[in-house]
Structure 1
Amino acid sequence: MKKVAFKTLGCRLNQYETDAIASHFQNNGFKLVPFDKEADVYVINSCTVTHQSDHKSRNFINQANRKNPDSVLVVTGCMANNAKTELEGRDEINYVVENDQKSSVYSLVEAHYNGEIFHPSKMNSDLFAYGSTDKGFHTRSMVKIQDGCDNFCTFCIIPSVRGRAVSRPIQDILNNVKSVVANGAKEVVLTGVNIGRYEYEHYRFDDIVEQILDLNGDFRLRISSIEPDGFGDKFLGLLNHPKMTPHLHLCLQSGSDSILLQMRRMYNIKRFKEIVNKVRSIRPDFNITTDIIIGFPNESDQDFESTCNIIKELQFGHVHAFKYSIRKGTRAERMTAQVDERIKTLRSETLRKVAEDVKLQYRNQFIGKEQIVLVEKTDGENAKGYGEHYLPVEFKGYELKKNHFYKVKITDINKDIDPVLIGEQVK
């Protein structure tokens, strides 16, 4: 039995695609092993959003080659698009597979072992031909509904490496959800590059959500990440549905209107606050998480302070913050007022502390309350998983099983780890 190892960087869409590719390999007789172990095939699903992402991808390429120089090494994902010439020039990489052909990674490797050498560009380019994810790395089952983006934010390279926006046929999505639920999935996560801009025939994003919520089955629905301009009142009205999880990842990027305008974002701070307030009028403890870019060109001390203030005001459940990184070919690359790296580092430290304090304040409100936890790891008596608010929970119980829902009363918070909610199973 040949062994295959995966390393995934970046977004949930990459995670979904890796899960599907890993399932394909296992369904055809490959054994899945950790990336730091010796394998016959290494697949690196890369990210190129920042310089740090590129650096990590290169490190994993080197790591795979050290583990087994005779392995088949496949590099795919956004860095494969953005740095294709560089990667194809490296002798240790067998195949550089762009995003359009990513679903054909297994077929490419199978052909390799059969003595048939194809260039990846000749393989299937169906963006939605990934198949099952039942043998992937996640308990939650991700379903891809859309790819690409037409927004062209000035800092973002994604339209260049993922292409223009394209939406999956609605019936294919519904069949995919039905299939994963029938196979035992308890949580379905909708994913894509810009899912709020889903558009297929006369269907929009809120139509997709509504029809999925109407499907039979014991499952709950989660939205992976969405732009603040990507939905309307109809979607907000669906947040009350019992299958809908009370969590949204809304991408803010900056608390300054001036910076948002220069980023070419499609909303302002007033509109963002209106959305958050509408969501929390439905459920006050609704978990809103977000992304922040630190040190975008022209970001002043006042701009940065505005960002810190809105984090405090809106009580985000989590903030994913990263320093702005110049991406070649973007409009922001040509901006002259680049922020000094030392200032970015200082601002990162400040914002991280603000975000951690707000996260702890948000999670403290759940002590004494209950969460419905989907177990991801367990030894039968101790379990780890995520509640409906997408908060990590560790709890004790009896005969606990993976991929099962349990009602848990939160009794404490472990402030040393993340922080994690601590609880006990409710009989």
Structure 2
Amino acid sequence: MKKVAFKTLGCRLNQYETDAIASQFQDNGFKLVPFDKEADVYVINSCTVTHQSDHKSRNFINQANRKNPDSVLVVTGCMANNAKTELENRDEINYVVENDQKSSVYSLVEAHYNGEIFHPTKLNTDLFSYGSTDKGFHTRSMVKIQDGCDNFCTFCIIPSVRGRAVSRPIQDILDNVKRVVATGAKEVVLTGVNIGRYEYENYKFDDVVEQILELDGDFRLRISSIEPDGFGDKFLGLLNHPKMTPHLHLCLQSGSDSILLQMRRMYNIKRFKEIANKIRSVRPNFNITTDIIIGFPGESDQDFEDTCNIIQELKFGHVHAFKYSIRKGTRAERMNQHIDERIKSNRSEILRNISENVKADYRKGFIGKYQTVLVEKIIGSEAQGYGESYVPVKFSGVNLKKNQFYRVKISSIDFNGEPTLIGVSD
């Protein structure tokens, strides 16, 4: 039995695609092993959003080659598009597979072992032909509904490496959800590059969500990440549906209107606050998480202070913050007033401390309340998983099982590392 190992960097869409590819390998007789173990095949699903992402991808390429120089090494994902020539010139990499051929990575490896000469450019380019994720790395089952982006924010390279926006036929999505629920999935996560801009024939994003919520089955629905301009009042009205999880990752990027304008974002701070307030008027303890870019060109001390203030005002459940990184070919690369790295690092530390305090305060609000937890891991008599609000929970109970829902009363918080809610199941 040949062994295959995966390393995934970046977004949830990459995670979904890795899950699907890993399932395909296992369906064809491969054994899945950790990336730090010796394997016959290593697949690196890369990210190129920042310089740090590129650096991590290069490190994992080196790690795979050290573990087994005779292995088949496949590099795919966004770095495979953005740095294709560089990667193809590295002798230790067997295949560089761009995003639109990623779904055929297994076919490429199979051809390799059959002695066939099979260039990645000849692979299938169907963006939605990934198949099942039932043997992947996550209890939650991700369903891809869209790919690509037409927004062209000035800092972002994604439209160049993922291509223009394209949406999956709605019936294919519904059939996909039905299949994963029938095979035992308890949580379905909608994923894509810019899912709020879903548009197929006369259907929009809120139509997709509405029809999924109407399907039979014991499951809940989660939205992976969405732009603030990507939905309207109809979607907001669906947030109170019993199958809809009370969590959205809304990408803010900055608390300054002038910086948002320079970024070419499609909203302002007033609009973002209106959306957040509408959401919490439907469900008061709704978990809103976000992304923040620190040190965008021209970001003044006041711009940064505005960002810190909105984090505290809107009480985000989690903030994913990262320093601005120049991406070649983007408009922001040509902007003036690039921020010194020392200033970025100082601001990062300030914002991280604020964000951690806000996160802790938000999670303290769950003490004495209940969360419905989907169990992902069991260690002894303790289960671990995420509540419907996408907060990590550890709890004790009897005859606990993975991939099952448990109603858990929260009694305390463990602050050793990621703040984790502690409770006991009913």
Which TM bucket (shorter chain)? over 0.9
Give, as a single letter, the amino acid of the residue that structure 2 aligns with 1:419: P
Partner of 2:423: 423
Distance 1:379 1:61 in 2: 32
Q: CA deviation at 1:420?
A: 0.4
**1:377 aligns to what SS in structure 2?**
strand
Where 1:275 maps in the other structure, the secondary structure is: helix
For residue 304 of structure 1, what is the amino acid of its counterpart? F
Match of 2:252 in 1: 252
Cα distance, 1:266 vs structure 2:
0.0
| 1:266-415 superposed matches below 5 A | 266-379=266-379, 381-415=381-415
Query: Could you say what secondary structure the match of 1:86 adopts?
Result: helix
Aligned residue for 2:43?
Answer: 43
Please report the TM-score for the alignment, with normalisation by the length of structure 2: 1.00
Aligned equivalents of 1:234 and 1:243: distance in 2?
A: 16
TM-fit CA distance, 1:26: 0.1
Counterpart CA distance in 2 for 1:311 and 1:317 is 10
CA deviations 1:12-47 (Å, max 9, x no partner) are 000000000000000000000000000000000000
Q: Does the Cα contact within 8 Å between 1:380 and 1:401 map onto a contact in 2?
A: no
SS at 2:13 equivalent: helix
How far apart are the structure 2 equivalents of 1:100 and 1:329? 20
Q: 1:380, CA displacement in angstroms?
A: 5.6
Equivalence map 1:153-168=2 (5 Å): 153-168=153-168
The residue identity in structure 2 corresponding to 1:327 is R
Equivalents in 2 of 1:347, 1:142: separation in Å? 34
Q: Match of 2:86?
A: 86
Identity %: 85
Question: What is the aligned partner in structure 1 of residue 238 from structure 2?
Answer: 238
Structure 1 CA distance for aligned equivalents of residues 195 and 411 of structure 2: 36
Q: Normalised by the size of structure 1, how large is the TM-score?
A: 0.99
Question: What residue is the counterpart of 2:124 in the other structure?
Answer: 124
- Counting matched residue pairs gives 426
Q: CA deviation at 1:130?
A: 0.1
Q: 168-177 vs 410-419, which deviates more?
A: 410-419
Distance in 2 separating the partners of 1:309 and 1:272: 14
Residue 247 of structure 1 contacts residue 286 of structure 1 at CA under 8 Å; is this kept in 2?
yes
- Contact 1:152–1:159 (8 Å) recurs in 2: yes
Query: What amino acid is aligned across from residue 190 of structure 1 in structure 2?
Result: L
Pairwise CA distance, 1:203: 0.1
Tell me by how many angstroms 1:336 deviates. Answer: 1.6
1:417 positional shift: 2.1
1:119-158 equivalences in 2 (<5 Å): 119-158=119-158
| Letter paired with 1:259 | I
Question: 1:271-299, CA deviations, whole angstroms, 9 ceiling, x for partnerless residues?
Answer: 00000000000011000000000000000
The residue that corresponds to 1:197 in the other structure is: 197
Provide the C-alpha distance between the structure 1 equivalents of 2:267 and 2:416, rounded to a whole number of angstroms: 36
1:20 corresponds to which letter in structure 2?
Answer: A
CA contact (8 A) 1:380 1:398 kept: no
Deviation at 1:88, TM superposition (A): 0.1
Partners of 2:243 and 2:330 lie apart in 1 by 39
Secondary structure at the counterpart of residue 104 of structure 2: helix
SS in 2 for 1:24: helix
Q: Unaligned regions of 5+ residues in structure 2, if any? A: none
> Which whole-Å CA distance do the structure 2 matches of 1:255 and 1:280 have between them?
19
After superposition, the C-alpha distances for 1:206-252 in whole angstroms (9 at most, x for unaligned) are 00000000000000000000000000000000001000000000000
Structure 2 counterpart SS, 1:131: coil
Alignment of 1:150-229 (within 5 A): 150-229=150-229
Deviation string for 1:71-127 (max 9, x for gaps)? Answer: 000000000000000000000000000000000000000000000021101100000
Counterpart AA for 2:82: N
Give ranges in structure 1 of 5+ residues lacking alignment: none
Distance 2:399 2:293 in 1: 44
Q: Find the aligned partners of 2:363 and 2:36 in 1 and give their Cα distance.
A: 34
Deviations 1:150-174 (A, max 9, x none): 0000000000000000000000000
| Partners of 1:395 and 1:417 in 2: CA distance | 17
After superposition, what is the alpha-carbon deviation per residue over 1:343-383, rounded to whole angstroms, capped at 9, x for unaligned? 00000000000000000010001000000000000146210
Structure 2 distance, partners of 1:219, 1:379, is 24
SS of equivalent to 1:73: strand
Structure 1 residue aligned with 2:62: 62
Contact in 2 for aligned 1:187/1:220 (Cα 8 Å): yes
Whether 1:103 and 2:100 are equivalent positions in the alignment is no
**Secondary structure at 2:293 match in 1:** strand
Deviates more, 1:384-393 or 1:412-421: 412-421
The equivalent residue for 2:74 is 74
The amino acid that maps onto 1:391 is V
The answer as to whether partners of 1:380 and 1:399 remain within 8 angstroms in 2 is no
Question: Counterpart of 1:172 in 2: which secondary structure?
Answer: helix
The whole-number CA distance in structure 2 between the counterparts of 1:77 and 1:343 is 31
CA contact 1:256–1:303 (8 Å) conserved in 2: yes
In 2: Cα distance, 1:181 partner to 1:398 partner: 25
Moved over 4 A (4+): none
Residue identity opposite 2:90 in structure 1: R
Q: In structure 1, what is the equivalent of residue 20 of structure 2?
A: 20
Over aligned residue pairs, what C-alpha RMSD do you find?
A: 0.4
What's the secondary structure of 1:344's corresponding residue?
helix
